[in-house]
Structure 1
């Protein structure tokens, strides 16, 4: 009976450890939520985004998540402005990837990206950030290259 009790305690501790750690063994933390607006010809579109600044945050991104509500997104900071490539490995939700120059102008949009794909999705030129939103958002809201993104990450010019 004592051995069984110790085993149960061990399993309980392992379960607690699994809850306290993310999928790669790092601690879970709540991402900082920020406001972002996209200014289109038809108006201003508000979003709430999680900002990813570190290599570790950018590498993990939206991997393993099962949903992303409309009006929400993830903003990747690639300071300084540079050519970047993204992929959808271990990403379970189809996304639109919006590539944004340092001045806040949208350079390119990769719409409806394929889930769990290792296909490289290039920025098409130097960008400061990439905004990932649920697939179909760009088309539904009329977001196009040349539109402006308002967020402290981007310089207003």
Structure 2
């Protein structure tokens, strides 16, 4: 009789949480790291239940279709600015959002992405409507 023993690496069995998928984006001469929200669950959760967001770090929401989208701040304590982007990464509009507000902020035109950053980040960097986010070609397809 032959017995086969399979040994798995310790990390394969560990129940440690994985860090969220991230993407590096560049707008003008500014580089940022964005967590990716490309699934319905990730888009619904967003940046809820967090107390802070690191400098030059945000969240990229990837939508399944190009459409008018709205963002709000339910259960989100961090004041944020959101930039809505088209399929080419061109910024359509930027809105500032107050913590815990359920008031929606909509894309000015049909958008494919929304990028949330700390409140005022876009203004501080001189980033305005018409500027382009580069690196979106590395983003996963929305579910």
TM-score interval for Structure 1 and Structure 2 normalised by the shorter chain: 0.7 to 0.9
State the partner residue of 1:75.
60
The runs of 5 or more residues in structure 1 that have no matched partner are 1-19, 21-26
Instruction: State the alpha-carbon separation in 2 of the partners of residues 29 and 125 from structure 1.
Output: 35
The runs of 5 or more residues in structure 2 that have no matched partner are 1-14
**CA distances 1:98-150 after superposition (whole Å, capped 9, x unpaired):** 10000110000002x11001101111210010000000111111110000011
State the partner residue of 2:22.
33
Instruction: State the alpha-carbon separation in 1 of the partners of residues 22 and 107 from structure 2.
Output: 24
State the partner residue of 2:89.
104
State the partner residue of 2:44.
59
> C-alpha root-mean-square deviation of aligned residues, in Å?
1.8
Task: Specify the structure having the higher radius of gyration (Cα).
Answer: 1
**CA distances 1:15-73 after superposition (whole Å, capped 9, x unpaired):** xxxxx8xxxxxx9542112211112xxxx110011011001000000001000011101
Equivalenced residues, count: 124
Structure with the larger RCO, 1 or 2 (CA within 8 Å, 6+ apart): 2
The ranges of structure 1 where at least 4 consecutive aligned residues each deviate by more than 4 angstroms after the TM superposition are: none
Q: Per the alignment, do residues 28 and 126 of structure 1 end up closer, same or farther by CA in structure 2, a change over 3 Å counting?
A: farther
What TM-score do you get using the length of structure 1 for normalisation? Answer: 0.74
The structure where helix makes up a greater share of residues is 1
